[in-house]
Structure 1
Amino acid sequence: MNNNYVIGADIGGSHITAALVDLANGAVADSSKYKEPVNAGADARDILTRWTKAIGHVLTAANGEVAAIGIAMPGPFDYPEGISLIKGVAKYESLYGMNIRAALKASLSFDGGIYFENDASCFALGEAWAGEGAGCSRMVAVTLGTGLGGTFLHNNIILHEGKGIPPEGYIYHLPYKAGIAEDYISSRWLLNEYQQRTGQRLNEVKNIADLAEQQDAIALALFAEMGHSLGEVLAPWLKDFAAERLVIGGNIRKAHPYFLPALQACLQQNNINTTVHISNRGENSALSGAAWICKSILVTNNNAR
């Protein structure tokens, strides 16, 4: 192994995945991938021990010869400084105010750089580099899951302001109907709405998708409504940004046969020519995106010498 590789890590609410990523093309070395379960409500020591175990496993397999470590991290988080600002969301609250970079450097005995970026943004960067957005100049990536992630990219650069960019570059908080977009486009909405309409509480969106596959009318209606809502939220921004592609990821993407037609119909009604693509890389996109952050910083540092 040599410095043509970095470690990409993706931190979720229940696990961490780490793997080697090729800096030449963003390809994830699947044979190096290591996943470790994490209790997001545990104390700081337990969480950091598990994160260290996963990243350390890959680092050891590479004989320590990697150029950097990139981590896709949920927010709120001070990404440049590596400090966790997560609180009030029932996950990783024990890490609030902690310098995660310093903690991991110490626990891994790693002298190289450790860099952080928002998990949804890493998904977008990974898709732009090695996925459905490859070769595209202006791309919007959306992650559909527990929440609603959105990232606007121009030539693989994350945008937080400018023409066609919503406030802070995010979409979850955009005003919509009686609340915000995330209230109507998320697993929470699907599960709550299904319960309201049937009186039955399901455990996960996959249960609703299974019902949709069986042509259950309520399940089909819910996905269609969510797809239409996503189209209404995105349409003005896709138009103003002149987005070439919309790439959709997140766990709910697996139910795209049931929400994609309504989304595309809404975009067509609004004269939006952006093509819609469904990611098929899973968490590999977040791993590639975390590696892209490393690559960008390494190139900048080398040019500065």
Structure 2
Amino acid sequence: MDDLLFDVGGTRIKCNIWRNGQRLLTEDLQFSAISQSNKENLLAHFCEIVQQVMSYSQKTGGTVRGVAFAFPGPFNYEMGISQMQGLGKYDALYGVDLKSFFLTCLSNHGVQEVPILFENDARAFALGEYQDSTPVQRGIYLTLGTGLGSAFIQEGEFVTELSGINREGMIYDIPFRGDILDNWLSAAGLQKLAAAAGYPKVEAFVLAKAARSKEPQAQAIFGSFGELLGEALKDYCRSFRPDEMVFGGQVSRSFPLFEGRLREVLAEECPATLRVSGDLTTAALRGLYKRLEERRGVNP
């Protein structure tokens, strides 16, 4: 029995199949997201990707029993309706009933009456990391990329009532240093720090390359980012007392460049284990599988 799992990002769409609870493909299937295309092209592209993954399942003797998607927000995950607008990705899908669309896409290719589930990408990542950790009671899970994804989990459940988080249980829109956390704990935040230091405007990965090459100014910028990250997170450490704090996302690939200052700032505030996700996509897909199992009344 196969579950088809899709991690839908702004640049790439990554997919895999969980067969009887185990990852089937050693390497995830990857497709371009074409996230700035028009509605017709995007829907045709999505359906083609689903068909390809479904076809692989069927050709290898599988039977589809569930389908799940991790999407960035804003998004009505219960109804399967995109609410992204003005973000430079999937704008053309604003208000589209993707749940009905995917049901039709599957039905047209012989798969009917299977559950289709949508989850926030950061929450899917958090679930995957939480269940894969040494048993912990409380964890904070952050994806540092073009924006900030976040989730707080306590005893297997998402926390939505805690000082300093929004009603979604996230912190991206929390005010911080005259802006919001999303614009600081991200690639955009790195660029703001670089601009303040008089560094030439470059992409975050170029800045990271310079820092790894021991360029003093680039190293100092990443040190400032670690300090900034610690400053933003220390209140959550005090109030939530997490056992672990896990980082994912493209910026987290540069963790060694800002880890030292982050640990210094959090030393007395946060005795939690700090670590980087081994594989952001695999974690998100594991989280999607867990959500499908919960929907089926199973505790994986």
**Alignment TM-score > 0.5, same fold:** yes
Alpha-carbon contact 2:193-2:225 (below 8 Å) kept: no
1:180-203 per-residue CA deviation (whole Å, 9 max, x = no partner) reads: 22222211122343245345222x
What are the equivalent positions in structure 2 for 1:1-305 lying under 5 Å apart? 2=1, 5-22=2-19, 24=21, 27-31=22-26, 33-63=28-58, 65-109=63-107, 110-111=111-112, 112-130=114-132, 133-161=133-161, 163=162, 166-168=165-167, 169-198=169-198, 200-202=200-202, 204-270=203-269, 272-299=270-297
Alpha-carbon contact 2:151-2:170 (below 8 Å) kept: yes
Q: Flag the 1:192–1:239 CA change in 2: closer, same or farther, 3 A.
A: closer
Q: Flag the 1:32–1:180 CA change in 2: closer, same or farther, 3 A.
A: closer
Letter in 2 for 1:79: Y
Name the CA distance, whole Å, in 1 between partners of 2:157 and 2:53: 28
Normalising by the residue count of structure 1, what TM-score does the alignment of the two structures yield?
0.89
Q: Flag the 1:66–1:156 CA change in 2: closer, same or farther, 3 A.
A: farther
1:81 Cα offset (Å) = 0.7
1:229 Cα offset (Å) = 1.4
1:133-159 per-residue CA deviation (whole Å, 9 max, x = no partner) reads: 342221110000101111001222222
Q: Flag the 1:56–1:31 CA change in 2: closer, same or farther, 3 A.
A: farther
1:121-176 per-residue CA deviation (whole Å, 9 max, x = no partner) reads: 1110111123xx34222111000010111100122222222x45622211122221
1:33 Cα offset (Å) = 2.8
Letter in 2 for 1:216: E
The 3-state SS of whatever aligns with 2:274 is: strand
Name the CA distance, whole Å, in 2 between partners of 1:164 and 1:30: 41
The 3-state SS of whatever aligns with 1:60 is: helix
Normalising by the residue count of structure 2, what TM-score does the alignment of the two structures yield?
0.90
Alpha-carbon contact 1:152-1:165 (below 8 Å) kept: no
Q: Flag the 1:166–1:21 CA change in 2: closer, same or farther, 3 A.
A: same
Alpha-carbon contact 1:248-1:279 (below 8 Å) kept: yes
The 3-state SS of whatever aligns with 1:139 is: strand
Q: Flag the 1:192–1:30 CA change in 2: closer, same or farther, 3 A.
A: farther
Name the CA distance, whole Å, in 2 between partners of 1:165 and 1:179: 15
Name the CA distance, whole Å, in 2 between partners of 1:39 and 1:179: 30
Name the CA distance, whole Å, in 2 between partners of 1:156 and 1:274: 17
Name the CA distance, whole Å, in 1 between partners of 2:147 and 2:10: 12
- Which structure has the higher relative contact order (CA within 8 Å, separation 6+)? 1
Q: Flag the 1:84–1:279 CA change in 2: closer, same or farther, 3 A.
A: same
Unmatched segments (≥5 aa) in structure 2: none
Name the CA distance, whole Å, in 1 between partners of 2:27 and 2:254: 29
Name the CA distance, whole Å, in 2 between partners of 1:199 and 1:140: 32
Alpha-carbon contact 1:71-1:117 (below 8 Å) kept: yes
Name the CA distance, whole Å, in 2 between partners of 1:32 and 1:105: 26
Name the CA distance, whole Å, in 1 between partners of 2:221 and 2:8: 29
Letter in 1 for 2:119: E
1:199-234 per-residue CA deviation (whole Å, 9 max, x = no partner) reads: 5222x3221111111111221111111111111111
User: How much identity, in percent, do the aligned residues show?
Assistant: 27
Name the CA distance, whole Å, in 2 between partners of 1:119 and 1:29: 21
Name the CA distance, whole Å, in 2 between partners of 1:217 and 1:253: 20
Q: Flag the 1:71–1:232 CA change in 2: closer, same or farther, 3 A.
A: same
Name the CA distance, whole Å, in 2 between partners of 1:78 and 1:245: 29
Alpha-carbon contact 1:164-1:238 (below 8 Å) kept: no
Name the CA distance, whole Å, in 2 between partners of 1:195 and 1:165: 28
Alpha-carbon contact 2:225-2:258 (below 8 Å) kept: yes
What is the number of equivalent residue pairs in this alignment?
291
RMSD over equivalenced CA pairs, Å: 2.0
Name the CA distance, whole Å, in 2 between partners of 1:255 and 1:33: 23
